[in-house]
Structure 1
Amino acid sequence: EEIGLKRSEVNILGSLDSMVSRFNISVTPFVGIISKETKTNSDSEEIEVCFKVPLSFLLDDKRLRNDAVRRGNETFYVPAYSFKTYVIWGLTAMITVNFLNSALDAGIDLKNPTEILGEKE
């Protein structure tokens, strides 16, 4: 999502695999570090809250639900997480899981539906 960060405010660590949205839009996510003082250029409380989800919450993999997504002949079970009053789902969740698996070896399996643990924060 567009959050208005200036390139000079981000120490880019690298990119993740490109993904294609259900609208056939290719997205290449980048991972970077910003200071705590950096402000996003958004009036959306949702972006402010979701931008600051603790990694520990995501690594616990307490899903609200699994969303079945078909890509060709394969089905992926994408997690949807409930954090505070918001749901992280869809392409945002897929990118997040890609990061967790690539950078933190989370082992979140998208090929098999995971038990719904359902604890909401």
Structure 2
Amino acid sequence: MNRSEFLQRYHHLRQIDYEADYPLRKTGRAAGVLIPLIDHPDGLTVLLTERAHHLRHHPGQISFPGGGAEPQDNTLADTALREAEEEVGLLRSEVDVIGALPEYRTISGYAMTPVIGFVKPGPVLTIDRNEVADAFEVPLAFLMDRRNHFAHFIERKQQRYPVYFMPWQNRLIWGATAAILRNLSSHLCDD
């Protein structure tokens, strides 16, 4: 899928059924994450990060660049772009923001807004090793193919929740990152 095909499918007018998020008792901490789509001539890829292994929360987990909103952020898109620059050196000027997915609440108390942006191939990344162990690309076609989505169900407070998984090479994309990618796939699927 290329940029033009992505935009055509993403901006359609049909109703989308999103994956259920985690119902929070109070308003979650606002966060913005960036879904950076690298626009290669042979198809789009998604830039993901592996969180640093020394972090207290979610060490080694695969995620999007992003984090909690700060007072200087005017919007959650600003948050996502600021965090992407801090974590992997992806400059705001290198990202063409085209939209966002609905807020996704997490069990850890965040209300994340996934911001979608196109990036030209070959961005020069400068990884902040205090936050990120690695950054890598995964073909969008792989992530959007529901045959690569797996679910495990957990029970919490007498409610059943799916936890999605997407194995990619020697990595496991799971949790909120996988659920957000699954929600994106709802925009792009053919049915």
Q: TM-score range by the shorter chain?
A: 0.5 to 0.7
**TM-score (norm: length of structure 1):** 0.68
Relative to its length, the structure with more strand (as a share) is: 2
Q: Which moved more, 1:87-96 or 1:72-81?
A: 72-81
Q: Give the one of 72, 81, 105 matched to 2:189.
A: 105
Partner in structure 2 of residue 84 of structure 1: 169
Alpha-carbon distance in 2 for matches of 1:28, 1:71: 24
1:36 aligned onto 2:121: yes
Alpha-carbon deviations, 1:38-80, whole Å to 9, x = none? 13332533x32xxx11122123323474132669986443420
Alpha-carbon distance in 2 for matches of 1:77, 1:106: 23
Distance 1:64 1:11, change over 3 A: closer
2:144 touches 2:184 (CA, 8 Å); kept in 1? no
Partner in structure 2 of residue 56 of structure 1: 141
Distance 1:36 1:30, change over 3 A: same
1:68 aligned onto 2:149: no
Partner in structure 2 of residue 114 of structure 1: none
Partner in structure 1 of residue 18 of structure 2: none
Alpha-carbon distance in 1 for matches of 2:98, 2:142: 22
Q: Which has the higher contact order (CA 8 A, sep 6+)?
A: 2
1:96 aligned onto 2:181: yes
Partner in structure 2 of residue 12 of structure 1: 97
Aligned residues: 102
Distance 1:5 1:73, change over 3 A: farther
1:59 touches 1:106 (CA, 8 Å); kept in 2? no
Alpha-carbon distance in 1 for matches of 2:189, 2:159: 23
Alpha-carbon distance in 1 for matches of 2:112, 2:183: 13
Between structure 1 and structure 2, the one with the greater Rg is: 2
